[in-house]
Amino acid sequence: MASTNTVPEVTAEDLRRSLSRVDPARKRTDVIMRVVVYIAFALAMAPLISLVWSVLVRGVGRLDTYFLLNSMRNVFGGMDAGGAYHAIVGTLVITGWAALISVPIGLMVAIYLVEYGTGRLAKAVTFLVDVMTGIPSIVAGLFAFALFYLLIGPQKAGIIGSVALALLMTPVVIRSSEEMLRLVPNELREASYALGVPKWLTTIKVVLRTAVAGLTTGVMLAIARVIGETAPLIITVGMTNSINNDVFRENMMTLPVYVWQQFGLGLVPCREGATDCIATINFDRAWAAALTLILIVMLLNLVARGVSRWFAPKVRG
Amino acid sequence: MSQRIETKDLNIYYGSFRAVADVTMSIEPRSVTALIGPSGCGKSTFLRTLNRMHEVIPGGRVEGTVAIDGVDLYGPDVDPVAVRRQVGMVFQRPNPFPTMSIAENVLAGVRLNNRRISKSDAADLVERSLRGANLWKEVKDRLDRPGSGLSGGQQQRLCIARAIAVEPQVLLMDEPCSALDPISTLAIEDLIADLKSRYTIIIVTHNMQQAARVSDRTGFFNLEEAGEPGRLVEIDDTSTIFSAPREQATEDYISGRFG
């Protein structure tokens, strides 16, 4: 052979040694990093598990259909009565209105940023969205209160709270929707254009349709972000012990405010030997309401997952 | 009826960069025209100007005229959406809509445009288009399954079925076989030969044997160097281009002595 191979001869023995030799320093780093990652994971999980556990243990005793279906009307002292129905209704209605306001606006802004926006205006909008993300919730509450004070005078109503919550939700919806829309491959848009479909129909029927699973998840995250807000609701919606289904009039109760109120009432000074008086009733109600709130968020997440799965692109036949 | 396409002094830009310069060519109805040339010479860019898809890219603009049967596609009162209904396109990578079934993909041009179509008409259109794309036999029992579950070659034929379901005059194909294996490629080439009797077809390809096999006429694009715009070097009958081209550059390119 006229080979001009100048590579030094490698015996099978050399090769085996070089392949099986483990660099001790690298192995040590590997073990250390592995341990660090596991510890970090445990540290992150511990508070979560502890939180869920304590809410579950303290809340589950009081959480029954009576609690879910009755309000606090005519309940006082250490009575073994009272529920969170009025607060559940308030939370659902107010958050629902907040979503109704912020989802269309957020989605349209995201569509503008991804499909239409170019140049300075798009950059300015992105910047403003970033600023909005950082608004403290109490400021959003004060803003909504001030806005409605100018329009209708000093009043409290569920819708004012919805506006405050929508203010907090919108940037979250914009950000997550924007990311989801950017994930839609450009090829699908081009395929649609090439069939003679106008841009607006392409956006609605191809882009939004393809991204709908991710958009739902984003909206649910935004709802979860605001459903536990307390401060803006105390300012704008106040509280009540009765059921109020009308978001446009009068005070409403919401779950976070209910928790805060019940906790604030503290221990009931029961008479010695009184059998119809539970000293810790307010705390029990607060914990049960907190558990209810967690369950509602979980339920919404499950619904969102169902929706996502139903609409997700199916890859395999 | 298929019509003649004529371009005159066509200059194509990305922003201020001129990507393709001074293309003047004439394409006969119901023929297959292949466009060949090295990467980056502007064949695909040129192809996309024929159905006004170029301007979808930010900064994309065109000077000169592209006329179908004498009507300038870039005239002031021409709607690009209407142009694209007359001039269909098949892309390099198969891109069926992932949220739609096979049948819905074929009907996409109708449904996405919110046009109403009766169930029986829809079924007819699906069958006719899938037969036209040589895919009917393979998928007729699973029309309601997702289009993205098909093989690459089947997906590409589904995209062709989707394009011809709109009943265009002209079909543009941008390297339709470059992501496919030889057997799927053969299926698509057979299909092109069939479609020629009804549509004017323009195909961009990197595969010179493919150009020689499927096309009646071949155009060669080249660019002098990177940063310069691509130009149409020559266009002639495919047999002439591959046996006795007029230009030395063409000869060099097709014989592999390029660069």
Strand order in B217-223's β-sheet? B71-72, B60-68, B5-14, B17-27, B230-237, B217-223, B32-36, B200-204, B170-174, B87-90
Q: What pLDDT band is residue B203 in, cutting at 50, 70 and 90?
A: very high
Contact flag A317-B99 (C-beta cutoff 8 Å): no
B224, amino acid identity: E
pLDDT digits (tens, 9 = 90+) for A244-260: 888 888 889 999 999 99
Q: CA separation (Å) from A143 to A158, A174, A235?
A: 15, 20, 10
Contacts of A311 in chain B (CB under 8 A): 99
Decide if B180 contacts B156 (C-beta within 8 A). yes
| B29–chain A nearest CA distance, Å | 20
How many C-beta atoms lie closer than 10 Å to residue A211's C-beta? 23
pLDDT digits (tens, 9 = 90+) for A145-183: 999 999 988 888 899 999 999 999 999 999 999 999 999
* Residue A43: partners with Cβ closer than 8 Å, 6 or more residues away: none
CA A122 – CA A178 distance, rounded (Å) = 12
Q: Any CB–CB contact under 8 A between A204 and chain B?
A: no
| A210–chain B nearest CA distance, Å | 6
Q: Report the chain B residue with the minimal C-alpha distance to residue A211.
A: B99
Tell which residue, A220, A187, A209, has the closest CA to residue A106. A220
Contact flag B166-A201 (C-beta cutoff 8 Å): no
| A100–chain B nearest CA distance, Å | 26
Q: What pLDDT band is residue B1 in, cutting at 50, 70 and 90?
A: very low
Contacts of B98 in chain A (CB under 8 A): 188, 210, 313-315
pLDDT computed for residue A288 by the predictor:
94
Q: What pLDDT band is residue A1 in, cutting at 50, 70 and 90?
A: very low
User: Pairing mode, if any, of strands B5-14 and B17-27?
Assistant: antiparallel
pLDDT computed for residue A314 by the predictor:
64
Burial of B13-28, coded b for 16+ CB within 10 Å and e otherwise, reads: beeeebbbbebebebe
Tell which residue, A291, A266, A245, has the closest CA to residue A67. A291
Tell me which residues of chain A, numbers 75 to 94, contact chain B at a CB-CB cutoff of 8 Å: none
Residues B214, B217, B221: CA angle, nearest 5 degrees: 105
User: What is the widest separation between alpha-carbon atoms in chain B?
Assistant: 57
Decide if B94 contacts B156 (C-beta within 8 A). yes
Contact flag A317-B142 (C-beta cutoff 8 Å): yes
User: Pairing mode, if any, of strands B230-237 and B170-174?
Assistant: unpaired
Q: How far is CA A253 from the centre of its chain?
A: 20
pLDDT digits (tens, 9 = 90+) for A222-241: 998 899 999 999 999 988 88
> Given a cut of 50, is residue B259 above it in pLDDT?
no
SS3 B146: strand
Contacts of A314 in chain B (CB under 8 A): 98-99, 146, 148-149
Averaged pLDDT for residues B212-234: 87
Computed from CA positions of residues A70, A72, A73, A75, in that sequence, does the dihedral angle turn out positive or negative? positive
Averaged pLDDT for residues A64-90: 88
pLDDT digits (tens, 9 = 90+) for B164-175: 898 888 999 999
SS3 B224: coil
CA B212 – CA B202 distance, rounded (Å) = 13
Best A197, A201, A309, A310 member to test B by mutation, with max B CBs in 10 Å, is: A197
Q: What does pTM read for this prediction?
A: 0.84
DSSP-derived letter for residue A137 is H
| A2–chain B nearest CA distance, Å | 30
CA B185 – CA A292 distance, rounded (Å) = 60
Tell me which residues of chain B, numbers 99 to 128, contact chain A at a CB-CB cutoff of 8 Å: 99, 108-109, 111-114
CA A250 – CA A169 distance, rounded (Å) = 23
Mean pLDDT of chain A: 89
Token readout for B92 is 């390099």
| B175–chain A nearest CA distance, Å | 14
Contact flag B166-A313 (C-beta cutoff 8 Å): no
Burial of B123-148, coded b for 16+ CB within 10 Å and e otherwise, reads: eebbebbbebbbbbebbeeebebbbb
In DSSP terms, which residues pair with B27 in a beta bridge? B5
Question: Quick one: what percent of chain B has pLDDT higher than 90?
Answer: 26
Checking A130-134 for CB contacts under 8 A at 24+ apart, the result is A130/A171, A132/A167, A132/A170, A132/A171, A133/A171, A133/A172, A133/A175
Q: CA separation (Å) from A65 to A61, A227, B4, B181?
A: 12, 22, 76, 64
| A311–chain B nearest CA distance, Å | 8
pLDDT computed for residue A57 by the predictor:
94
pLDDT digits (tens, 9 = 90+) for B37-58: 888 888 899 999 998 999 888 8
Contacts of B149 in chain A (CB under 8 A): 314-317
Backbone dihedral angles phi then psi of residue B163, each to the nearest 5 degrees:
-70, -40
DSSP B70-118: TEETTSTT--HHHHHHHEEEE-SS----TTSBHHHHHTHHHHTTT----
Averaged pLDDT for residues A45-73: 92
Contacts of A209 in chain B (CB under 8 A): 99
User: Pairing mode, if any, of strands B170-174 and B60-68?
Assistant: unpaired
In DSSP terms, which residues pair with B25 in a beta bridge? B7
Contact flag B85-A196 (C-beta cutoff 8 Å): yes
> Given a cut of 60, is residue A10 above it in pLDDT?
yes
Length of chain B: 259
> Given a cut of 90, is residue A189 above it in pLDDT?
yes
Decide if A91 contacts A224 (C-beta within 8 A). no
User: Pairing mode, if any, of strands B200-204 and B32-36?
Assistant: parallel
Residue in B85, B93, B109 closest to A187 by CB: B93
Tell me which residues of chain B, numbers 154 to 213, contact chain A at a CB-CB cutoff of 8 Å: 159, 162-163, 166
> Given a cut of 80, is residue B95 above it in pLDDT?
yes
How many C-beta atoms lie closer than 10 Å to residue B52's C-beta? 23
pLDDT digits (tens, 9 = 90+) for A194-208: 998 999 999 999 999
| Contacts A–B by Cβ distance under 8 A | 92
| A145–chain B nearest CA distance, Å | 43
* Residue A133: partners with Cβ closer than 8 Å, 6 or more residues away: A171, A172, A175
Q: Any CB–CB contact under 8 A between B248 and chain A?
A: no
Contact flag B98-A187 (C-beta cutoff 8 Å): no
Residue in A187, A195, A314 closest to B112 by CB: A195
Q: Any CB–CB contact under 8 A between B47 and chain A?
A: no
Best B90, B99, B145, B202 member to test A by mutation, with max A CBs in 10 Å, is: B99
Q: CA separation (Å) from A256 to A111, A125, A219, A228, B7?
A: 33, 32, 20, 6, 69
Contact flag A315-B146 (C-beta cutoff 8 Å): yes
CA B212 – CA B257 distance, rounded (Å) = 18
